[in-house]
Structure 1
Amino acid sequence: MGRKFGYARISSDQGQDLASQRMKLEELGAMVVFSDIGNGSTLVGRDGLDSLLKLLEPGDEVISLHPDRIGRDTADLLTVGKRIVERKAVLRIHDPQIVFDGSDFMGEVLLTLFGMVGSIEKHFIKARQRRGIEAAKAKGIYKGRPPSIDPVRVRELHQQGMGPTAIAKNLKIARASVYRALAA
């Protein structure tokens, strides 16, 4: 019999808490719970999930409370599910009950279905967000996200002889952002 691992994710630590997910996953038998804080619309930057997937051995089980904790679209859900099965382990989702071990076509159908539901939900969230932003702009309340890059500092470093790659590393920003700041 393999080991049972839990996977929990919250979108942000602003008003959300991993503790309730951890507790439920432990009740379901998870000996260790891996977790991430971040947007569910991408698998990029999910260090907890990456660590969990690397640790899996044949016979292990990954438990998640809901499909959207793993991914908010079909491609991500199936990618994670298949990576688990490649390790000869099993993905078990608690609610709704889905077991994906690669041997049952219905497991893949259910992951696909709930991935589609997640995609639809993500679409509606973005649409509501856009409507809210437009309403706030109309009232003069919304000014946009504050700049995360200081173009003056980018130009200063460039004038000191620092190249774009070095500036990007120094300021912990993307090199493309450096080029945009220099071109502005």
Structure 2
Amino acid sequence: MRLAYIRVSTVEQNTDRQVIEADKTFTDKVSGANTNRPALKQLKDHVRSGDIVICHDISRLARNLLDLKELITFFTGKGVSVQFIKEAMTFSSDKSNPMNELMLNLLGAVYQFERDIMKQRQAEGIAIAKKKGVYVGRNTSMRLKSSIIESYKSGTSQRNIARDLETSLSNVQRVIKAHKNKASYDL
């Protein structure tokens, strides 16, 4: 069975550039910083020997070398092949291609480096903005805010709202607090 794994970093991003022909698709809209992702967990539970897991590129499966190697080892250990379209690489349990192993290590390290540099630049920018007094934190989209408020009004717990909307608990708490403050101000 051909199983596609698609990942983007946020709910607002779309997956259009990662269209993959497959029998079943697993899609995450969360950071690739770790492997604690709902669709990835479902994929790991679903795979069977002889399946092929297909990803658009290596960075969609993992953004650090350790996680990447552990996932490849997990899948190939179950008799599952892993194919990356962009890099034109396939990994299977036979490990007959040492060049692929080398390229996996090189590209995995490059993607990890890229993410680390991005996080460093982001932290530098935030520090500068805070110094200037213009940093207000991440802006939650209006659509996400309204979904949080709607769920909150229907009695859903804050933890379940965060899980269902694939956002952080602190983000849910911040939106609800702002909503409560606005509601009491409007009285």
TM-score (norm. length: structure 1): 0.70
Counterpart check, 1:78 vs 2:69 = yes
Distance 1:17 1:171 in 2: 26
Q: Count residues in correspondence.
A: 142
Opposite residue 66 of structure 2, the aligned amino acid is A
Counterpart check, 1:50 vs 2:47 = no
**Match among 19, 25, 28 for residue 33 of structure 1:** 25
Match of 2:20, SS state, is helix
**Match among 99, 107, 111 for residue 114 of structure 1:** 107
Give 1:110 deviation, angstroms: 1.8
Give 1:84 deviation, angstroms: 0.7
Match of 2:50, SS state, is coil
Distance 1:129 1:8 in 2: 25
Q: Deviations over 1:39-88 (max 9, x none)?
A: 111001x1111111221112110000010000011111111111110110
Structure 2's unaligned 5+ residue stretches are 140-156, 160-168, 171-187
Give 1:144 deviation, angstroms: 5.0
Opposite residue 59 of structure 2, the aligned amino acid is D
Q: Which residue is 1:124 aligned to?
A: 117
Give 1:140 deviation, angstroms: 0.7
Opposite residue 5 of structure 1, the aligned amino acid is L
Alignment of 1:1-184 (within 5 A): 3-14=1-12, 16-21=13-18, 24-26=19-21, 30-44=22-36, 46-102=37-93, 103=95, 104-143=97-136, 172=159
Q: Deviations over 1:143-164 (max 9, x none)?
A: 5579xxxxxxxxxxxxxxxxxx
Structure 1's unaligned 5+ residue stretches are 147-169, 175-184
Higher Cα Rg, which structure:
1
Distance 2:137 2:77 in 1: 43
Match of 1:5, SS state, is strand
Equivalent pair of 1:63/1:91 in contact (CA under 8 Å): yes
Match of 1:25, SS state, is coil
Opposite residue 107 of structure 1, the aligned amino acid is N
Distance 1:145 1:11 in 2: 14
Distance 2:158 2:5 in 1: 33
Distance 1:49 1:107 in 2: 23
Matched-pair identity in %: 29
TM-score (norm. length: structure 2): 0.69
Deviates more, 1:98-107 or 1:87-96: 98-107
Distance 1:144 1:62 in 2: 37
